[in-house]
Structure 1
Amino acid sequence: MVRFQEPNLHARLIQRTVMGNVVVDHELISRTFADGSGTLETVAIYEVQGGKIKCASFITGHKTLD
Structure 2
Amino acid sequence: MNSATLVQIQLDAYNAKDIDALLATYAPDAAQRSLDGTLLAIGHAELRDRYVSRFAEPDLHARLLSRACIGDIVVDHELITRNFAEGIGTVEMLCIYEVQNGLIQTATFAMGNQVLPAVL
Normalising to structure 1: TM-score of the pair? Answer: 0.93
- Going by fraction, where is helix more abundant, 1 or 2? 2
Matched with 2:106 is: 55
Q: Which protein shows a greater Rg? A: 2
Unaligned ranges ≥5, structure 2: 1-51
Q: What is the DSSP-based 3-state SS (H/G/I as helix, E as strand, rest coil) of the residue aligned with 1:30?
A: strand
Supply the distance in 2 between the matched residues of 1:63 and 1:31 (Cα, whole angstroms): 9
Unaligned ranges ≥5, structure 1: none
Identity level (%): 55
Give 1:22's aligned amino acid.
I
Q: Verify: 1:5 aligned to 2:56, yes or no.
A: yes
Matched with 1:35 is: 86
Normalising to structure 2: TM-score of the pair? Answer: 0.53
The alignment's C-alpha RMSD in Å is 0.9
